[in-house]
Structure 1
Amino acid sequence: MVQAHPQFHTFEDFLAYTEDIEAYYELVNGALIEVPPESDENLYRALQLYEALQPLVGMRQIRLQGLALAVPGEPKNRYPDLTILRPEHPDQMGALGRAAITLDMLPPQLVVEVVSPGAENHRRDYIDKRNQYEWRGIPEYWIVDPVVGQVTVFSLTERGYAATAFTGDAVVASPSFPGWSLTATAMLAL
């Protein structure tokens, strides 16, 4: 007997179907594609950033992985390494019953991705996700790249994202979080 693979037409269909599934999936052209687990080094870097950002935004507005973010294009969702929510998001997600930000919600304040080694991962974070986060209207996107030793801050302008790269002992400047004081070296450290 051949089992039919479900097709999903909306992000809400995807959320309903994956509610009781433990793994993470991206919705690509109506099909589920399992997202591989993160490396321990990336998880640790994201955790360090979580702890550094928490005093600036509070625990209620910060999420480590596991948050399904609806985006335009393909795939239709991403699981950022770290997300800073807007104040209304926790209540909206509570009403939704899922750790998810749908397209009808405002975009998060900040999304952070930690780049894994490999050309495909580099392309995904620097091109695919960058474009999707820009199209989604996310005000700020950070790429923490231990492979090239830099942190890139993308700030949304009227013309799209403007990028600023930070290396070494340069303090990473965040337009959304002026109290941020970590250097690129500190953000890249294990």
Structure 2
Amino acid sequence: MIQILQQPITFDEFIEWLPSVSECRYELHRGVIVEMPKLRGKHSKVSGNLAYDLGTAIRQANLPYFIPKECIVRSLDGNSGYEPDVIVLDEPALIDESNWESGSIITLGKSIKIIVEVVSSNWRDDYFMKLGEYEALGIPEYWIVDYAALGGRRFIGNPKQPTITIGQLVDGEYELQQFKVSDRLFSPTLSNLMLTVEQIFGS
């Protein structure tokens, strides 16, 4: 994770700055443009498999949701913009998203059913910053997928082991549940999802 500009900018300035074609991904963190690591290796595999598995469950349940290839989520205060690893959108709700068609930008928590971050070396972003931002937006379900057990011990236990944490929004706050090894995941949004942690992480 590399900071590109030191001077704080607005979300709109960030969107205008974003290159249309780039070898890197970029996010806006509290007014600062940050170059994000490109998805590679196991991170890319886990993200891709998750998108496939969630998409399959959506189709099987005949729900009006979909998973876009790219999407930027603006924070409630407008100081940040995130590109999640996987996001499940509620298609009928997009009627209220004025910048969806022109820029794949989401500003309302009600448009999102599930948001997923696959943990990398900047794990604090996922466990601290993004959790708080997604909670404030009112996103009902947040997954933190920590396949390499990078998160702090207070989040994934001691000794550390690969963990998926699923937050369910209850009364405006995430209630967090951890899943490890052979545990079957429970998704409040997709009750028909039949997956274990091992199936997601693979070998």
- Counterpart in the other structure of 1:155: 168
Per-residue Cα deviation, 1:3-33 (whole angstroms, up to 9, x for no partner):
x998633x23322332635243222454422
Paired position in structure 1 for 2:39 = 38
Cα deviation, 1:87-146, whole Å, max 9, x if unaligned, reads 13666578641222135x734110111112x4xx22111111111111111100011111
TM-score, normalised to structure 1, is 0.81
| 1:47 equivalent in structure 2 | 48
What's the TM-score once normalised by structure 2's chain length? 0.76
Q: 1:114 to 1:5 in 2, by over 3 A?
A: closer
Q: How does 1:102-113 map to 2 (within 5 A)?
A: 102-103=107-108, 106-113=110-117
Identical aligned residues as a percent: 25
In the alignment, which residue of structure 1 is the partner of 2:76?
72
Alignment check: 8 A CA contact 1:72 1:136 kept: yes
Instruction: Give how far 1:185 is off.
Output: 1.2
CA separation in 1, counterparts of 2:14 and 2:40? 25
Contact 1:107-1:136 at 8 Å conserved across structures: no
Superposition deviation, residue 156 in structure 1: 0.2
* Structure 2: stretches of 5+ with no match in the other structure: 150-160
Tell me the matched-pair count: 181
CA 1:159/1:137 → structure 2, altered by over 3 Å: closer, same or farther?
closer
Q: Distance in 2 between matches of 1:29 and 1:54?
A: 31
Q: Which ranges of structure 1 fall in alignment gaps of 5 or more residues? A: none
